[in-house]
Amino acid sequence: FCVGLGAVLLLWPSRDKGAGDSGAPTSVSLKDIPRASSSSVPVADAAGCQPGVPCTCPGGTPGNVPKTCQLTCGEASGCKPSCSDRDVCESRCAGDCQSSCARSKACDTRCADGCDIECRNAETCQATCGAGCSYACEDVGKCVPVVGDRSVVKCNRVGGCEVTCSGSCAVSCSRTGSCKVECQGQGPAKRCGDGRRACGDGCSLPP
């Protein structure tokens, strides 16, 4: 019996310790997330962008701070990416995101529904967000947000504010060089009683 058992053990196929389970979930690489202009973007550790916790760019070393930063939260909602003092700031997050960008040449934020986005003291600010988005752009050369249904946009002290709405939206422009609102598939923007521009029933949205 012992000899037979030993033979079975010797003939049993061994498993390579380095091999993983074929059914294990495949990890998603940060390189799979859409990015803007740079092909070599230094990114924060994805583990550092947790829901409800502020996530900032890595500091680098004295005199050698990276010019470009990308913060990503993957599929987690409720993320809080914040980027400042870089040439290019990019943030990618899911729903209920609170994103901020300041003192940068170019800010680019992409998020899903229910996002709160702020962009200040930058040359250009662009964003793409889903429904129920709140977008504030202040002291910026040009703001170019694309927002979903039931979104509110505020441009203050901006050279040019160019908003594209895929559904109902309300846009307020204060001390701007130009203020343009495109209502996709809805005809021209309308004027609300409070001076805002709106698409669809956007005049009923809170200021």
Question: pLDDT by residue (tens digit) across 126-167?
Answer: 999 999 999 999 999 999 999 999 999 999 999 999 999 999
Closest CA to 132 of 117, 147, 114, 144: 114
Q: Which domain holds residue 52?
A: 41-56+67-111
What per-residue confidence (pLDDT) applies to 58? 78
150 with 200, same domain: the answer is: yes
Residue 96 inside a domain? The answer is yes
pLDDT score, position 46: 42
190 in a structural domain: yes
**In this structure, is residue 139 part of a structural domain?**
yes
Distance CA 153, CA 147 (A): 8
Judge if 103 and 134 occupy the same domain: no
Statement to judge: residues 88 and 151 lie in one domain? no
> What is the token pair recorded at 21?
């389970």
155 & 186 share domain:
yes
Same domain membership, residue 200 and residue 140: yes
- In angstroms, rounded to a whole number, what is the distance separating the alpha carbons of residues 106 and 86? 8
* 158 and 205 in a common domain: yes
pLDDT of residue 16: 41
Residue pair 97/71 in contact (Cβ under 8 Å)? The answer is no
Residue 51: the pLDDT is 85
For β-strands 169-174 and 98-110, DSSP reports them as unpaired
How many domains in the chain?
Answer: 2
Q: Which residues of the chain have pLDDT under 50?
A: 1-47
* pLDDT recorded at residue 130: 96
Proportion of the chain above pLDDT 90, given as a percent: 60
d(CA 107, CA 120): 9
Q: Is residue 36 part of a domain?
A: no
Residue 135 sits in the same domain as residue 96: no
